[in-house]
Structure 1
Amino acid sequence: MLTSPLIDHILATIPNRTIGVLGDLFLDRYLDIDPALNEPSVETGLTAYQVVGVRSYPGAAGTVINNLAALGVGHIYPIACIGDDGDGYELRQALGKMPAVEQGGIFLSATRRTPTYTKPMLGKEELNRLDIKNRTPTPEDIQDRVIALLDEAWPRLDALLVLDQVSEKDCGVVTAKVRDHLARLAERDPKKFVMADSREQIWEFRNVAAKPNARECYSTRDRGGLSPTQETLDLEVWQRTSTLGRVLFATEGECGISLFDPQSPGRRVRVPAYPVFGPIDICGAGDSCSAGIASGMVSGTTHEQAAAFGNLVASITIQQIGVTGTAPPDLVRKRWSEVNK
């Protein structure tokens, strides 16, 4: 599926492309704790951890943005609402360090918090994560602003990636109202590549491609306690893909990606993963795969070739331990040279 000339073509094309990222922008904040400096709290007697370093990165949709930037996409346009707060300031600072990222589609709200994952690191051990999320429905005026920004950006986008990170229904950027509007835009412009990734609502999207993992594909249907066969599971996916309207990229970890195309019912195309040996860290693997797929599609590849490129990118990022990995062009070429042997 992939060849050296095709990889060179993708990497040479994407600096001239614009990819939008619509969805939930999180702040990933790491607190580096030195265990040698632990001291008891005078007030409670509990151990007071001493933070010696703070690292902040764009998370959720920000991870997709980071991967697009590392690959070399020329223009990246996020569309999101974040809080008018300190976490939002840190997030915008982190985004400002990335090449090609335009922040005109990011707006602030005094009524919403910037979603934040705080990860205390006691030496090399990650302690319990502290999550800040919006757990109340997104106000109507914020939804309308998101839609207006999407309409404004739509003509200039070569592709759009949609990331619905918030599990609580209609509490994030991608609400039912935003999804419905996106479905109408995508229906009017079927040649524009649009791909959605959602933790809980993947089957609520219409007229767009989708990239669920195995759990998101199969776990939302009640089967009365029965264990279905793979044939039954595939039939369910086909039925749902027909309502989705575009190609489904089902990611399956070390097994790669399965493509379900509603234009070819019953024909499942398996795109194998590239083998990886030694320790791996799958944090952010799906987001790096999305960036690879989008980069392929805006370069004129087939769905199979784009999926293969996504697999190649993910095989690079999962080998970067303890960080949310990225795959710049030199690592893409190096990795292809390894697997192409």
Structure 2
Amino acid sequence: MTSTDINLLFDRFTGVRVGVIGDFAVDLYVDLRTDTGEQSLETGLDVFWGSHPRASLGAAGNVVQNLAALGVSSIQVIGCVGNDLFGREMRYLFDSLGVDTRYLYTIADGWDTCLYTKPARNGREANRIDFGTGNTVSDLFFGSLLADLDQLLPKLDVLVINQQFAHPLLTGERVAQLNERIARFPNVRFIADMRREGTQVQGATLKVNTAELARFLAIDHPNEPDLNWCLQHGEVLQKRIGGPLLITRGPAGILCIDQAETKRVDGLTLAGPLDTVGAGDTVVATWAACQGAGASMSQALTLANLAAAVTVQKCNQTGTACLSEILALHHSHYAHD
């Protein structure tokens, strides 16, 4: 894949229409000092100091901000937020990216906007504080989201289905309802990233890492799963879901198994500290953009691999990859080809 090929794909990304449904969050990063020598006058407990707070979109929101970084200009989100300060921050972040939030509903009672608070002490992430882990929505409310989705799907090229929370928006029964839409809208490409219900999705591209592959098949996960292990067990899962299976293999690269073909791309050799948080979201977003743009499997794998390699080099943040960063990395690794 040449730099010209990459530029041509990015030109097509601007016209791709992508929807994202599922679990949206805000990632809040702060620098933390615990050795302040200060104690609270009220409680006598040690006081910690925080500085440099910075928020970005997380979970399904990270897919959205990666899509935006890739130049996708038509992005629609389907889900809900709480009536709280984190919900207002999420809407602000979406608005700053030009995302259409008409189907992002605010739930006044019983829903805390999901927030992952990520304090970093001496450059390393400390214990997270999470909000929104107990959220649930009624089947009646989800039915209204499905009605919105039915109106939206004819206008989309790709729908990304994200499931991440302990109490996700998309339960097993609701995934079955999404499967009906996958069958009814053959012109839409569906891509699923689901921590719990991945084996229930039918006909979509399912993205898994090797640990998720092992968990979905109820098998042991080796310390270093090799290519043969991924191929053997990936073929089993692919037959079960009926659609393409995208397996991220960390530094070993990415593998795609489909009924018609199987292709892989090797990981890139990277130096310096790495942070893999959110790299899977980068792969999902890049794959979605490539599917909408009509890229080949080989092109999509290569570009997703490059984009993920960009984001893992961005530490203590939920990273994204843009055209200039991808081209620079491509040049540094492939200029001699």
TM-score (norm 1): 0.89
Counterparts of 1:42-121 in structure 2 under 5 Å? 42-98=41-97, 100-110=98-108, 111-121=110-120
Q: Partners of 1:7 and 1:305 in 2: how far apart? A: 9
Counterparts of 1:217-256 in structure 2 under 5 Å? 217-222=213-218, 234-256=231-253
C-alpha deviation, 1:198, in angstroms: 1.1
The amino acid across from 2:181 in the alignment is L
C-alpha deviation, 1:140, in angstroms: 1.1
In structure 2, the CA distance between the partners of 1:58 and 1:327, relative to structure 1 (3 Å rule), is same
Q: Partners of 2:303 and 2:37 in 1: how far apart? A: 46
RMSD: 2.4
C-alpha deviation, 1:49, in angstroms: 1.3
**Which residue of 2 is the match for residue 183 of structure 1?**
179
C-alpha deviation, 1:189, in angstroms: 2.7
**Which residue of 2 is the match for residue 14 of structure 1?**
13
Would the aligned equivalents of 1:143 and 1:177 in 2 still touch at CA under 8 Å?
Answer: no
SS at match of 1:116: strand
C-alpha deviation, 1:178, in angstroms: 3.0
C-alpha deviation, 1:62, in angstroms: 0.9
Q: Partners of 1:6 and 1:229 in 2: how far apart? A: 30
**Which residue of 2 is the match for residue 28 of structure 1?**
27
C-alpha deviation, 1:142, in angstroms: 2.2
Would the aligned equivalents of 1:214 and 1:251 in 2 still touch at CA under 8 Å?
Answer: yes
Count matched residues. Answer: 333
Would the aligned equivalents of 2:81 and 2:111 in 1 still touch at CA under 8 Å?
Answer: yes
**Which residue of 2 is the match for residue 318 of structure 1?**
312
C-alpha deviation, 1:71, in angstroms: 1.1
Would the aligned equivalents of 2:205 and 2:244 in 1 still touch at CA under 8 Å?
Answer: yes
**Which residue of 1 is the match for residue 323 of structure 2?**
329
CA offset digits 1:113-153 (Å, max 9, x no partner): 11111123345343210112343643112211221221121
SS at match of 2:205: strand
C-alpha deviation, 1:298, in angstroms: 1.4
Q: Partners of 2:126 and 2:37 in 1: how far apart? A: 14
- Where do 5+ consecutive residues of structure 2 fail to align? none
Would the aligned equivalents of 1:147 and 1:178 in 2 still touch at CA under 8 Å?
Answer: no
Q: Partners of 1:313 and 1:126 in 2: how far apart? A: 23
In structure 2, the CA distance between the partners of 1:181 and 1:87, relative to structure 1 (3 Å rule), is same
- Where do 5+ consecutive residues of structure 1 fail to align? none
Q: Partners of 1:43 and 1:115 in 2: how far apart? A: 30
Q: Partners of 2:12 and 2:219 in 1: how far apart? A: 46
The amino acid across from 2:59 in the alignment is A
Q: Partners of 1:229 and 1:33 in 2: how far apart? A: 39
C-alpha deviation, 1:339, in angstroms: 1.7
SS at match of 1:211: strand
In structure 2, the CA distance between the partners of 1:231 and 1:252, relative to structure 1 (3 Å rule), is closer
**Which residue of 1 is the match for residue 204 of structure 2?**
208
C-alpha deviation, 1:211, in angstroms: 0.5
In structure 2, the CA distance between the partners of 1:179 and 1:312, relative to structure 1 (3 Å rule), is same
Would the aligned equivalents of 1:146 and 1:173 in 2 still touch at CA under 8 Å?
Answer: no
C-alpha deviation, 1:21, in angstroms: 0.9
**Which residue of 2 is the match for residue 139 of structure 1?**
138
**Which residue of 2 is the match for residue 128 of structure 1?**
127
Q: Partners of 2:47 and 2:216 in 1: how far apart? A: 42
Would the aligned equivalents of 1:207 and 1:246 in 2 still touch at CA under 8 Å?
Answer: yes
Would the aligned equivalents of 1:80 and 1:106 in 2 still touch at CA under 8 Å?
Answer: yes
One of 168, 171, 191 as aligned partner of 1:195: 191
Q: Partners of 2:37 and 2:202 in 1: how far apart? A: 52
Q: Partners of 1:165 and 1:193 in 2: how far apart? A: 20
SS at match of 2:318: coil
The amino acid across from 2:213 in the alignment is C
The amino acid across from 1:109 in the alignment is I
Would the aligned equivalents of 2:199 and 2:216 in 1 still touch at CA under 8 Å?
Answer: no
The amino acid across from 2:328 in the alignment is K
Pair 1:288-2:286 in alignment = no
In structure 2, the CA distance between the partners of 1:30 and 1:220, relative to structure 1 (3 Å rule), is same
In structure 2, the CA distance between the partners of 1:125 and 1:229, relative to structure 1 (3 Å rule), is closer
SS at match of 1:306: helix
C-alpha deviation, 1:175, in angstroms: 2.2
Q: Partners of 1:291 and 1:32 in 2: how far apart? A: 28
